[in-house]
Amino acid sequence: MSRPSDGATGANPFAGLSAIDMLVLARTDRQALEQLSKSDPAAAQEWWAGLSEDQQHALVTAMPAFIGALNGVPAASRVAANKILAAEQVRKIRSQPSFSDIDGAPTLRTEFGAGEDLIRYLERVVAGEVQLYLWHPENGAVIEMAGNPETAKSALFVVPGTNARIGEFTSSNPTTRFANWQVNNSRTQSVVAFTVLTGPMPYLTADPIDLWSSGPQNNAFAAARAPELAAFEKGIFATMPGIPTVSYENSYASAIGSAAEAYGGTPTVRVLSAGVGATFGYEPAPDVIRYAIQAPNDINRYYAGLQAWEVGFGVAPESIPGINVLDSGQSGLPINAAIAQVELGVGGPLAVAVQIPDSVSNHIDTMSDDIQKNAASMREVQRLLAGTAGATR
């Protein structure tokens, strides 16, 4: 059996690996398997396409955790693998209510307590009501798909920002609703959408999280998540070649999307929604069309363009060269970082504080699927998806 190469020569690390080889690796060489999981998605796609349908089915059935997370494997196969994985985890949870014997035990215990909410979610996955493209609770990662990739003419990536976590996907008010609305209301009836969480995000709460190291002012999360987002996007580029893509990056996620460009995460269109922008040193990749949309009083405007080392974001979204600024349709007194500093100096904290409730409400509403609260963002993304449908990257 051949072993995966180290990639130094540019050779496909999957070259020469049969389905049987992969099954052997799963039992004998977990390190090699982990190395393969980080391969370039184009290499994985080439290998997968060279397997017979029977071989692909065998790997989906025998290695659902690996295949369900491998960028470069087509969406339908990943969803099938994660359906099997979900069924396995339901059985384990029911037999081990403390989560002691399943992947991601600490994360799941924190998120779901006794686990009934999680069981209901995973049972919906098994029933086909939810399409899981990625399920890595041990990494705090989940990607949910809506729509049919086989008939899609455009793809949407919705990347939630601050406070995003697995529980936001499984709740009764899931963060997937924006993406689902776009699929259900597509003008071309041919949109596939992914709501993307690739790992831990900053969290805005007083307890028990350390706000200094885990709060949204810490730009280190953007650096950590950027290669992961890029790998996901490159997986879509490889398995759905030529399909135009629209990335809707909310709040903190706009910094992740900006940083991901350097790793090859270059969707056709990026929409920075109530975004923080980017860190110093950001160089916009060519051939990406960018839009910014946020309320005139969005909370992020109070510190837009301010950065000191790992605190803040030095490139405000509306200052990115060539960016198209859209009207959010939201009300509020116009704010920018300079005005906020003047207000603070002249009127003290109260002058800023009186505007903050509306600033936060407008910010939160940019991820809503309520047309009364978020009409402009919803319609603009709908328009962009319709406009790119049928175009090529």
The reply to whether 4 falls in a domain is no
Is 23:67 a contact under the CB 8 Å cutoff?
no
pLDDT, average across residues 147-169: 95
What is the pLDDT at residue 348? 45
Residues 326, 210, single domain; the answer is yes
Residues 154, 295, single domain; the answer is yes
Does the pLDDT value for residue 319 go beyond 90?
A: yes
Rounded distance, CA 21 to CA 14, Å?
A: 10
Cis preceding linkage at 106, omega within 30: no
pLDDT, average across residues 382-388: 93
Does the pLDDT value for residue 173 go beyond 70?
A: yes
Does the pLDDT value for residue 270 go beyond 80?
A: yes
The reply to whether 335 falls in a domain is yes
What is the pLDDT at residue 353? 55
What is the pLDDT at residue 25? 92
Residue finishing a domain among 134, 160, 187: 134
pLDDT, average across residues 358-365: 93
The reply to whether 122 falls in a domain is yes
Higher pLDDT, 103 or 53: 53
What is the pLDDT at residue 254? 98
Residues 105, 170, single domain; the answer is no
Does the pLDDT value for residue 284 go beyond 90?
A: yes
**Residue type at position 331:** S
Burial-class residue 22 by CB neighbours within 10 Å (0-12, 13-18, 19+).
buried
Does the pLDDT value for residue 127 go beyond 70?
A: yes
Give me the DSSP letters along 178-222.
HHHHHHHT-SSS-EEEEEEE-S------SSSS-HHHHSTTBTHHH
In degrees, rounded to 5, the angle at the alpha carbon of residue 173 between the alpha carbons of residues 276 and 206 is 55
The reply to whether 12 falls in a domain is no
What is the pLDDT at residue 4? 45
Per-residue pLDDT reduced to its tens digit, 198-238: 999 998 865 555 767 888 999 999 999 999 999 999 999 99
pLDDT confidence tier of residue 316, bands split at 50, 70 and 90 = very high
What is the pLDDT at residue 104? 67
Q: CA 353, 358, 359, 364 torsion: positive or negative?
A: positive
Residues 72, 199, single domain; the answer is no
What is the pLDDT at residue 103? 67
What is the pLDDT at residue 2? 42
The reply to whether 329 falls in a domain is yes
Domain count within the chain: 2
Residue finishing a domain among 104, 134, 164: 134
Residues 154, 265, single domain; the answer is yes
The reply to whether 11 falls in a domain is no
Q: Is the overall model pTM greater than 0.75, yes or no? A: yes
Residues 116, 151, single domain; the answer is no
In the chain, pLDDT over 70 holds for what percent of residues?
Answer: 86
Residues 150, 117, single domain; the answer is no
Residues 269, 289, single domain; the answer is yes
Sequence-ordered alpha helix ranges (H) in 29-176:
30-37, 41-49, 53-62, 64-67, 75-95, 105-112, 116-126, 166-170
Residues 206, 90, single domain; the answer is no
The reply to whether 1 falls in a domain is no
pLDDT confidence tier of residue 388, bands split at 50, 70 and 90 = confident
Least confident span in 34-43, 202-211, 358-367: 202-211
Least confident span in 86-90, 140-144, 351-355: 351-355
Give the phi and the psi of residue 208 in degrees, each rounded to 5.
-95, 5
User: Which domain range does residue 230 map to?
Assistant: 140-393
Rounded distance, CA 274 to CA 254, Å?
A: 8
Residues 127, 167, single domain; the answer is no
The reply to whether 180 falls in a domain is yes
pLDDT confidence tier of residue 26, bands split at 50, 70 and 90 = very high
Does the pLDDT value for residue 346 go beyond 60?
A: no
